[in-house]
Structures are given as structure tokens and as C-alpha cells.
């Protein structure tokens, strides 16, 4: 009776599960309504007293079992995060300790399953099959190596004296490595899949062949980047993708391959353990010795690395030994986290260290391969903006790949974030991912804009610098305008990118940015009314720039201020006086601007000669001396018109005043007039032309002298009389 009642209860429970499952599945797929007779059977079954009693007992038992869990959850909520973390570590270690005694039984079970599934094939036979197909992959790779002799010769013939040639050389090596990898895959796993195998044997051999392929890939690409000496490449240090010495390249190529072999072997073995009957705790227990061996191998590679320039950077302050101990501590901490089961913290710490290291290494590689070497061919340098774009593109790719791998390690996916089980957590995850993408794109865009503006500024500075020019006509006036406008444009673009990125990040986090924009507009209007002087300065500066009133490096005068324009912001300008004083003047107070450095400047001055001078002879002599001074190599590049006489200015008190003028490039040839004065004085002296000098002559008669002497004698006598009385 009890058996039949239990069977009817199971049937009823199954119907209930189907009903509630169809309801929870949603309204997208509605299940068809059950037949009326089945509904009657369900109602009759639920009305049975035995079934009712059994359901009541099961409900009370489930409630009693759920209560401790609820209490434990409440206690867990009241605990701190550190306490919960320590509790998880303690439970994980306890599970490992408990799983250790059961490992022999699990190993025996795995051996039994293996022997049954492999039809009496032993482990040596399985190893032989794996070795045969790995050898087949190596053999096919050797054949492809012989067939690609022309490709290798073409790669070796590529020039290493230009950045483009070095990049093509490295790309060719990676192409050859990819071809060899494909050959190994076809010869090993491809050949194995042509035959029919028992299911378990198929899984075992494919697991280890996959590990061998992974090791082959690591070996090929690492050797292509580091170019160890065993590859026989001529001048290997100059054509490497990373700037390291031969000893460093050999060391890290060898140890990376050794570590990858161990990781591939362990990964292949652990992927098969669940198929062989190992429990989760048993697998975790086996990770302890394998992780320890991996730690020892990695520490061996770190401690035995060459002291010269290495893949692992170390600053001069820390030194080689201190850097080694820091790396040792880091690796030991990762090992402890893995043993303790702190997967989240371990992957987070590993990503925090690995991503900056990869970005740093990629940056070194880009700037080393695309470097402008003095030994390279002339005019072979790659523009800085192209190098910056390549560097930033690689950085963005590394960050995106790292974020994807980190999300996979944390068990995050599209389905997880779209789940309605944890809406707040999913919203935060979506927001963080969107924010990361926005920051990466904004940084990439800003890097390109910054590199482009800095390149243009560098060209403008070189072109606009008169000291770098051989002739004045080579100076492009537009370069000065670039020096003036590009910094302001760069700052405006930076502010726009930052504001847009912040608003987009807030929007991705679920924050409504419409009220923020409206509030910012209201605040902007209020600030505009309250800071009218600031608005006046900014608007005045904009119109000064639009009118091209001045540029950086020009000498201007405005009211009582004068000096060379050093820099300016949206609100003010900085003028450096020729005596060293620096004026900071708001644009609103600048007023009319006199630019003394635009196009050309005419200097006018006077010379006085005696009234008896032949004016025509003096004119010819001035013209001759002015031409000689203008042909001086010190002043010739800047003279537009030499010093010459315009005519008689006026008749002065002591002589005839002659008017002279010269036209030259602005801001140049200041000493030309001083040299002209010295030369014209000597020329006038040789030609007998006098330069009148003002003099004062004092005349006095004899009677006045006698009167002065008599007066002095009287003063002397009166003074003597007073002293005697």
C-alpha cells in the first residue's frame, strides 16, 4: 500500500514539476493544457490521506533542514569579509586533507576503468601511440621545413637596416612559425583522427596531443621573438623583437619551453581525471604537488636568469637581487592562494601583475623594432604617430584579451550577466565592462590625437626656429600659427574626450545623465553671469587668435606691456620682456596689439655732418658702407634692404642732419647698426668728412680777475681782525 502511495506521489510530483516548470519557463513557450482525465487523477491523488500525511512529513523535514542553512546564512551575513574568507580557506584545506586518504582508491578505480576501456592495452601502449603521432607531426614539420627553403632565404634576405625591414623580417619569422605549427597539427592530431579508436583511448591521446601542440606553438613563437643562438640567425641581437642579449634569449627560450611542457602535461592529465572517476576533491588534492613543481621550475628560471638586461625589468634602485626576491615573494603568494582555493584573488593578482608587464614588454618591442637607428638607411624612419598608433593598438588588444580571459576565469559570461538571479550584480558587471571599453577607446583616441599634435608641433618648432634655417625664405610663417593654435586645440580635445568618457561611463552604470547635462547648463549660465570678466577674457582671446594678432615667439607691444609671446591659455597671455620680466596679461586688458615681428621691420636713424660737407659724396659713401655691412655673413641672411641715405632731414644747430634707413627680417640683425656706425666713422675720417661736435668756450677779462682777488683779500683781512680781537 505504501509502495503504491509513493508511486502515485511521485507521479503527482512529476506533474507538479512539469506545471511549475512550464510556468517558470515564461510565456514565450506555453505548454499545452493536460487532458481532463489526468487532472482528475491528480486531484484524486492529492486528496488521498496517506499522500497528505507523507507530504506534511516531508514539508516539516525540509523546513527543519532549511532552518540551519538560513541561520548559517544570517551568521555569514553578520561576519566580516575577512572572517568569511578565512572560513572558506579553512574549509578548502580541510577538504584537501580529507581527500588525501581516498586518493589510492581513486587511482585504483582509474586504473580499472582504463584497463576495461582500452581492451587490455597497457599504459606503455598508450604512450607509444602518443609518441608515434607526435613523431609524425615532427616528421611532417621537417618535410615542410625543406619545402620552405625559398621562404627562409627570402626572410634572411630582408634588410635589417630599416624599421620596415626589421618589422617584415619578424613578420616573416612568425609566418614561417605558423606554417610549421600547422604542419605539426596536421601530422599529429590530423593523422590520429583519420583512424577509429576506442572512446577513452581517443580522449587520452587527443588530450596529450593537444598539450604537445600547445608546447609546439609556445616554442615556435617564443623562438621567433627571442631568436636564440641555436637558430643560427646572423646578427640575431639586432633583429629580435625584444631588446635582449644572447644569454638572456637562450635562457628564457629554454625555460619557457620547460615550463610549458610541464603545464601542458599536467593540464592534459587533469582534463582526463573526471573521466577516470576522480572526484573534485581528489583533483584539487593532486593540484598541490603539481603546483609545487611548477613553482620550483618558475623560481629556478627566475633565480638563474642572467644578470644582464633581461625580459624582467629591474630598476637601478632595487637592483637585480632585490627584484629577484620580490618576484619570488610574488610567485610564492600565488602558489599559496592556489593551494588555499582563493581563485578570485589569485587570478586578480596575476592579472594585476601580468597585464602591465605585457604592456611594458610590447611597448619595448614596438619601439625597438621601429627604432630610428643611426646605422639605418637615410630617410627610413617611421613617423612617431605611426609608432604610437601601433603601440596603442597592441595595448588595447592586450587589455581586451586580458579582460576576456579574466572574465572566463571568474565564470562571467553573457548568459551570466543577462541572468535575472542577481540583477544588481549583473548591472554592476555590465557597467564595469562598458566602462572599461569606453576608457580603452578614449585612451586610444587621445593617444592618436596627442601623437599627431606633438608631431606637428615638433615639425613647426624646427621649421620656425631661425637658428635651424640656412636662409630666411625657408621659414614658413604658418608654422608659428600652428605653434599658437595646436596646444589650445589639444587641450580642448582632451577636455572633450574626458567629459564624454565620464558621461558615457555614468550612463553605462545606469545613471541618468540628462539631469546632469541640464544642471551643468544651468551652472554654466550662472557662472557666466557671475564671472563676466572671465568670460570677457576668454572671448577676447578667441578673437585675438582668430585675427592672428600674435603667435608664440613674436615680439608684441600693447600699452605699457611689451615682450616676446612665450605662451597663453584661454584667459591670459605671457610676455617675456627683453630685460627678463614676465608679464601675465588677461586678454580683456590687452587692448590694441602692436606686432613687431611680422613680415619685415624698417629701422630709421640720423647722422649729422658739417655744413661744409659734400652731401652727394656723403650719400655715396653711406651707400657703399651700408652695402658692405649687408654683405657680412653675420647679417646677410636677414637683410632685405641695406642701409642707405634717404636725404637731408633738416639743418641742425651744428650741422646737416641726414636721414638713413634699412629694412630687415624682424627680430634679427640687431648688431648691424652698431657695426655700421664703426665703419662709417672710419670712412668719414678717411674721406675728410667731419662729424660736428658741440663744445662750450668760457671767456673772461683781466679787470674781473682783479676784482675777484681784491674781494678775497678783504674777506681774509676781516676774518683775521675778528680772530685777534
Assigned C-alpha cell, 411: 565564470
Q: For residue 322, give the C-alpha cell.
A: 632585490
> What is the pLDDT, as a whole number, of residue 113?
72
C-alpha–C-alpha distance, residues 366 and 131, integer Å: 39
CB 599 within 8 A of CB 666: yes
Q: CA separation (Å) from 35 to 15, 39, 324?
A: 12, 7, 75
Phi, psi of 186, deg, nearest 5: -65, -40
| Res 703: pLDDT | 65
Question: pLDDT, tens digit, for every residue of 634-679?
Answer: 887 878 888 888 888 888 888 888 888 888 887 666 678 888 888 8
pLDDT tens, position by position, 79-107: 455 666 677 777 877 777 777 787 787 77
CB 205 within 8 A of CB 129: yes
Q: What mean pLDDT is reported for the chain?
A: 76
Q: Which of 312-326, 341-355, 404-418, 616-630 has the lowest mean pLDDT?
A: 404-418
Which CATH number fits the domain 601-687, given the four candidates 3.40.640.10, 3.40.50.970, 3.40.50.10800, 3.30.70.100?
Answer: 3.30.70.100
Q: Report which of residues 722 and 543 the model is more confident about.
A: 543
- Cβ neighbours for 200, distance < 8 A, ≥ 6 positions apart: 113, 114, 117, 118, 275
H-helix or E-strand containing 103? Answer: helix 103-117
Least confident residue range of 99-103, 412-416, 623-627: 412-416
Dump pLDDT digits (tens) for 279-290. 888 888 888 889
Question: Quick check: 39 and 19 in contact, CB under 8 A?
Answer: no
| Distance from C-alpha of 137 to C-alpha of 144, rounded to nearest angstrom | 11
Read off the pLDDT of residues 169-192 as tens digits, 9 standing for 90 and up.
899 999 999 999 999 999 999 999
Report pLDDT digits (tens) over 254-310: 999 999 999 999 999 888 888 777 888 888 888 888 999 999 999 999 999 888 666
Over 60: is that where the pLDDT of 20 sits?
Answer: no
> Three-state SS for 170?
helix
Cell matching residue 604: 630709421
Output 571 or 476, whichever has higher pLDDT.
571
Task: Write out pLDDT tens, residues 60-81.
Answer: 454 444 444 444 344 444 445 5
pLDDT tens digits for 711-721? 777 777 777 77
pLDDT at 209 over 90: yes
**Grid coordinates of 514:** 540628462
Three-state SS annotation for 506-547: HHHCCCCCHHHHHHHHHHHHHHHHHCHHHHHHHHHHHHHHHC
What is the spatial distance between Cα 595 and Cα 347, in angstroms, rounded to a whole number?
63
DSSP SS3 for 594: strand
Q: In what order do the strands lie in the sheet with 594-595?
A: 582-586, 572-576, 561-568, 555-558, 594-595
Say yes or no to pLDDT of 243 above 80: yes
Instruction: State the pLDDT at residue 345.
Output: 81
The interaxial angle of helices 384-409 and 343-369, nearest 10 deg, is 160
pLDDT at residue 475 tops 50: no
Strands (E) located in 251-344: none
Whole-number pLDDT of residue 164: 87
Q: Which of 393, 432, 435, 390 is nearest to 412 (CA)?
A: 432
Alpha-carbon gap, residue 311 to 322, rounded angstroms? 16
Dig out the grid coordinates for 294 from the structure. Answer: 611548477
Amino acid at each position: 500500500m505504501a509502495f503504491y502511495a509513493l508511486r502515485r506521489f511521485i507521479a503527482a510530483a512529476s506533474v507538479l514539476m512539469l506545471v511549475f516548470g512550464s510556468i517558470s519557463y515564461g510565456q514565450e513557450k506555453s505548454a499545452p493544457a493536460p487532458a481532463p482525465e489526468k487532472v482528475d487523477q491528480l486531484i484524486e491523488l492529492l486528496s488521498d490521506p496517506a499522500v497528505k500525511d507523507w507530504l506534511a512529513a516531508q514539508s516539516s523535514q525540509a523546513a527543519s533542514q532549511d532552518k540551519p542553512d538560513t541561520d548559517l546564512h544570517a551568521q555569514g551575513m553578520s561576519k566580516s569579509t575577512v572572517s568569511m574568507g578565512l572560513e572558506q580557506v579553512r574549509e578548502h584545506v580541510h577538504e584537501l586533507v580529507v581527500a588525501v586518504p581516498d586518493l589510492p582508491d581513486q587511482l585504483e578505480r582509474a586504473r580499472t576503468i582504463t584497463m576495461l576501456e582500452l581492451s587490455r592495452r597497457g599504459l606503455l601502449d598508450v604512450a607509444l601511440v602518443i609518441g608515434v603521432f607526435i613523431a609524425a607531426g615532427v616528421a611532417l614539420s621537417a618535410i615542410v621545413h625543406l619545402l620552405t627553403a625559398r621562404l627562409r632565404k627570402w626572410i634572411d634576405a630582408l634588410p635589417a637596416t630599416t624599421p620596415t625591414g626589421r618589422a617584415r623580417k619578424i613578420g616573416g619569422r612568425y609566418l614561417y612559425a605558423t606554417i610549421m605549427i600547422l604542419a605539426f597539427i596536421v601530422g599529429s592530431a590530423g593523422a590520429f583522427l583519420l583512424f577509429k579508436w576506442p572512446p577513452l583511448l581517443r580522449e587520452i591521446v587527443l588530450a596529450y596531443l593537444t598539450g604537445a601542440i600547445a608546447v609546439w606553438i609556445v616554442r615556435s613563437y617564443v623562438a621567433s621573438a627571442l631568436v636564440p643562438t641555436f637558430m643560427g640567425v646572423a646578427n640575431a641581437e639586432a633583429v629580435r623583437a625584444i631588446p635582449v642579449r644572447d644569454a638572456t634569449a637562450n635562457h628564457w627560450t629554454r625555460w619557457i619551453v620547460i615550463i610549458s611542457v610541464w603545464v601542458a602535461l599536467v593540464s592534459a592529465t587533469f582534463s582526463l581525471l573526471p573521466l577516470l572517476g576522480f572526484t573534485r576533491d581528489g583533483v584539487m588534492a593532486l593540484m598541490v604537488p603539481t603546483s609545487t613543481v611548477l613553482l620550483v621550475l618558475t623560481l629556478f628560471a627566475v633565480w638563474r636568469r642572467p644578470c644582464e638586461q633581461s625580459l624582467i625589468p629591474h630598476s637601478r634602485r632595487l637592483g637585480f637581487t632585490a627584484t629577484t626576491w620580490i618576484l619570488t615573494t610574488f610567485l610564492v603568494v600565488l602558489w599559496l592562494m592556489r593551494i588555499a582555493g582563493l581563485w578570485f584573488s589569485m587570478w586578480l593578482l596575476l592579472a594585476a601583475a601580468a597585464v602591465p608587464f605585457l604592456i611594458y614588454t610590447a611597448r619595448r618591442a614596438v619601439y625597438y623594432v621601429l627604432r630610428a637607428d643611426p646605422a639605418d638607411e637615410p630617410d627610413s624612419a617611421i613617423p612617431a604617430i605611426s609608432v604610437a598608433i601601433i603601440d596603442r593598438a597592441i595595448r588595447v588588444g592586450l587589455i581586451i584579451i586580458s579582460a576576456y580571459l579574466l572574465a572566463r576565469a571568474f565564470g562571467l559570461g553573457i548568459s551570466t550577466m543577462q541572468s535575472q538571479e542577481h540583477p544588481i550584480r549583473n548591472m554592476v558587471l555590465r557597467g564595469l565592462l562598458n566602462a572599461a571599453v569606453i576608457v580603452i577607446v578614449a585612451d586610444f583616441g587621445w593617444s592618436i590625437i596627442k601623437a599627431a599634435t606633438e608631431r606637428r608641433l615638433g615639425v613647426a618648432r624646427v621649421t620656425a626656429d631661425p637658428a635651424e634655417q640656412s636662409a630666411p625664405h625657408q621659414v614658413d610663417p604658418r608654422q608659428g600659427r600652428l605653434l599658437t593654435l595646436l596646444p589650445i586645440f589639444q587641450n580642448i580635445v582632451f577636455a572633450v574626450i574626458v567629459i564624454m568618457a565620464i558621461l558615457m561611463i555614468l550612463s553605462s552604470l545606469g545613471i541618468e545623465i540628462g539631469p546632469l547635462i541640464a544642471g551643468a547648463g544651468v551652472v554654466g549660465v550662472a557662472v557666466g553671469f557671475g564671472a563676466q570678466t572671465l568670460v570677457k577674457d576668454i572671448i577676447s582671446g578667441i578673437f585675438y587668435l582668430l585675427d592672428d594678432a600674435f603667435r608664440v615667439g613674436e615680439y608684441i607691444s600693447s600699452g605699457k606691456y611689451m615682450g616676446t609671446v612665450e605662451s597663453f591659455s584661454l584667459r591670459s597671455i605671457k610676455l617675456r620682456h627683453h630685460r627678463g620680466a614676465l608679464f601675465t596679461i588677461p586678454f580683456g586688458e590687452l587692448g590694441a596689439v602692436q606686432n613687431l615681428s611680422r613680415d619685415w621691420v624698417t629701422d630709421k636713424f640720423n647722422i649729422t655732418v658739417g655744413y661744409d660737407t659734400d652731401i652727394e659724396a656723403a650719400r655715396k659713401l653711406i651707400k657703399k658702407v651700408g652695402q658692405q655691412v649687408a654683405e657680412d655673413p653675420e647679417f646677410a641672411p636677414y637683410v632685405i634692404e641695406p642701409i642707405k641715405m634717404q636725404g637731408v632731414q633738416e639743418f641742425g644747430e651744428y650741422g646737416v642732419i641726414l636721414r638713413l634707413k634699412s629694412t630687415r627680417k624682424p627680430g634679427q640683425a640687431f648688431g648691424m647698426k652698431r657695426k655700421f656706425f664703426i665703419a662709417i666713422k672710419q670712412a668719414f675720417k678717411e674721406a675728410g668728412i667731419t662729424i660736428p661736435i658741440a663744445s662750450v668756450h668760457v671767456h673772461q677779462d683781466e679787470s674781473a680777475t682783479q676784482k675777484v682777488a681784491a674781494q678775497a683779500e678783504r674777506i681774509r683781512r676781516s676774518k683775521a681782525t675778528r680772530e685777534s680781537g
